[in-house]
Structure 1
């Protein structure tokens, strides 16, 4: 008998973690960090299963909401094999090391405040450290190319298809024998939009008995990508023409590389007024190097450029700043410029001091190219607040604000439906990685257009395949 229990990304979009049991074999698909309201507390809670009982861990891609608790899994006794694409393994290493650094810094800050209150004993140790992360990558990994089969046991095989979400992302296909019948269960991971700038389009899937599919944007359609590209170009050019500075809070993985490619194209096509461009994010700089390491994952245009010795993410005006001192010197730059820095939602990172120094100037602009969660500084700026607090100081917001939503790395409602449509033999459909209201809308659309009933997964509840 085969069962699946979701311990994350069940009626929420973070903490992806699904336990597949096939007979006595236990396979965990992703082990992600909970993020957003109450997320950090939830990460410290028990998994809901014994980590030492897990035989295999399959990682669909290297975003923290899919890999962020992997070091914790090892700390609690996991000693099985990790299975992922090569790119996911490499990206996961830099993401988890960065995460460990942030956890350590947060711990120092919270501890200092707690000591002043005489409440040191209430402070939790960091979820994991950089040494814990290094232990993860000293263990047993099995890296697969797309559609390369790996036999777990005599009757269980796993393979990956390209999910088209970020570099190295995959949907996992697990084939097994049950009662002398072949069965296939598929976990979509996060599926990419068909409108992508820099990486290959996602693969189609032809067969599945059971499908666990993400539903992040199951309630809506995305704006056309070309429209968003034009909006981005207009915002950049109009700001530079008045000798302003453009601030782009950007996620280090995928979104930053997309922005660099767009600016590269504008530069080469003569569309970009002369300016200084700063990539002020050590993590994004490391991630960009990995994008160059795997040109086969890039779109045809970028792959051709890369294999012919041209870096698609670098050009004459681009300056990278790795140290804190280099970052701080950007504040003294008076000429027109573009500053790309993290974090993407302005809830920490180097973008904070750039906003503090430039948000008050009406010649400047802030271009948001990613989702801004409620309660973040980014969301407050997007929502039109007259002033915001940064490092304890009230800063008036006079810079122009642009929100460009068409760069999403997730498939929208129509794209999700189109991905399901050609699957033959589909008997059971399960919705994960989405908010309840969006899942219900998506389930109704799937029923209406494809005739499939959908089951919305609940945290901790097991279902039989």
Structure 2
């Protein structure tokens, strides 16, 4: 790294396992530009602020408030499909599904190309569309792919949602309350939309829905980024 320092960083999305070390990287390379989508830049700021809060409370802060501020100043938000060629190589971001703002990256250098999928999902959810696919096969020299569920056959999404809603309905109709522990980013917003839609359609009784902790900030940010969310969700908000 000392002999060949990075000229730019491309951030695929804002989940904690992808952003927690950014201030440490910027500590070593303070002029490094971090390219990502607008949504990723917004969400990453919340994730890093929460990481600083929690790690400080635990007595082992990974970075300082000043380092967090300097990191956020290095973000360079980009729209999908814009090709950037300012650093001796070129790259383009494409929607990868998975999370609001998540991207796959096409990297071009020296006449060769590498497609990095990032974390990818080919299934629509209430809060993010499935990964974008080109109309025609696009040749590349190499593919770098995530493989979290590469060898696992998961139940269909519709079946998972049906089972989830049925269990909640049984509890509510029996007079109970439901506590749902969830990741604050992505999953919580998805669950919120499933519950609201199920209440509107009569599958669930209409009951108050409470959000706590970081989930509240994340959901508010999703609302502020409504134009970047699926069209069906935008239409629901308008109506």
Under a length normalisation based on structure 1, what TM-score does the superposition of the two structures give? Answer: 0.48
Map of 1:414-429 to 2, 5 A cutoff?
none
Tell me which residue corresponds to 2:119: 190
Instruction: Answer yes or no: is the 8 Å Cα contact 2:97–2:124 preserved in 1.
Output: no
Query: Does residue 70 of the first structure (1) align with residue 7 of the second (2)?
Result: no
If asked which structure has higher relative contact order (CA below 8 Å, sep 6+), I would say 1
Identify unmatched segments of 5+ residues in structure 2: none
Partner of 1:359: none
Could you tell me which residue of structure 2 aligns to residue 434 of structure 1?
Answer: none
Name structure 1 gaps, 5 residues minimum. Answer: 1-48, 108-124, 311-465
8 Å Cα contact 1:101/1:129 also seen in 2: no
Q: Taking structure 1 as reference, are residues 217 and 101 closer, same or farther at Cα in structure 2, changes over 3 Å only? A: same
- Counterpart selection for 2:84 from 126, 150, 153: 150
Aligned equivalent of 2:200: 268
CA shift in 2, pair 1:161/1:196, >3 Å: same
1:253, distance to aligned residue in structure 2 (A): 0.8
**1:229 is matched with which residue: 161, 166, 180?**
161
Q: Is the 8 A contact 1:104 1:129 kept in 2?
A: no
CA drift of 1:75 comes to 1.8
Say which of 62, 79, 90 aligns to 2:31: 79
Deviations 1:305-359 (A, max 9, x none): 24x2x6xxxxxxxxxxxxxxxxxxxxxxxxxxxxxxxxxxxxxxxxxxxxxxxxx
Output the CA distance in 2 between the equivalents of 1:184 and 1:240: 53
Q: 2:23–2:63: 8 Å Cα contact kept in structure 1? A: yes
Moved more, 88-97 or 234-243: 234-243
1:300 aligned to which of 225, 231, 234: 231
Aligned match of 1:247: 179
The structure 1 residue matched to 2:70, chosen from 127, 135, 153, is 135
2:48 corresponding residue in structure 1: 96
Cα deviation code 1:370-416 (max 9, x no counterpart): xxxxxxxxxxxxxxxxxxxxxxxxxxxxxxxxxxxxxxxxxxxxxxx
What stretches of structure 1 move > 3 A for 4+ residues in a row? 49-52
Aligned residues: 236
Alignment of 1:116-135 (within 5 A): 125-135=60-70
**Cα deviation per residue 1:256-282 (whole Å; 9 max; x = unaligned)?**
11111011112211222243321112x
Superposition CA RMSD, Å: 1.9
Q: Structure 1 residues 96 and 51, CA, compared in 2 at 3 Å: closer, same or farther?
A: farther
For 1:9-24, list aligned pairs within 5 A: none
Other-structure match for 1:105: 57
The TM-score, its normalising length taken from structure 2, stands at 0.91
Residue 221 of structure 2 is matched in structure 1 by 290
Change (3 A) 1:51 1:126: farther
The answer as to 2:140 corresponding to 1:211 is: no
Aligned to 1:399: none
In the alignment, is the contact (CA less than 8 A) between 2:26 and 2:32 conserved in 1?
no
Indicate the structure (1 or 2) with the bigger Cα radius of gyration: 1
1:130 Cα deviation from its structure 2 partner: 2.9
Larger strand proportion of the pair: 1
Render the CA deviation track for 1:54-86: whole Å, top value 9, x for unaligned: 211110000011111001111223421111001
Matches within 5 A, 1:367-386: none
C-alpha separation in 2, matches of 1:77 and 1:146: 26
- Contact preservation (8 Å) 1:56, 1:81: yes
